[in-house]
Amino acid sequence: MPTKEAYIEECQREIDGASTSYKMLLEYIKDPHTNKKIGVVVAYRSLKRGICLGWSKCNPRDKFNKQIGISLAICTGIPQRYLDDKHPRHPYNTLKSLQLVTLVNAKVEHMRDRARRYFKL
């Protein structure tokens, strides 16, 4: 089992690889009471999947780590078309079925709008 430091270095390599391959937007999720970072939302354009949105949120007992959070958010990226209200499967329900907390859901919605403007959709 790798050490935490080795895992963080691996995450940083994934971020570096992704940032050279994709244009990327990111926004941190902060606890409204303490203003500490507790998660991150990313938007990026993938050649195969188009614009993707991903997010990660740390366990309340853990301390947020930027590299791990961004790496997980990139890995969990969902193509924008599945988050669009006009999709035949009505994927807006997908966000609800993932049982995201209200704070994360609001950040994802904000990032959707921001990504549309940034990637000129």
Predicted pLDDT of residue 64: 92
Instruction: Categorise residue 120: left if φ over 0, alpha if ψ from -120 to 50, beta otherwise.
Output: left
CA distance 26 to 40: 7
pLDDT tens column, 80-96: 766 655 544 444 444 54
| Residues 43-48, mean pLDDT to the nearest whole number | 80
Predicted pLDDT of residue 116: 86
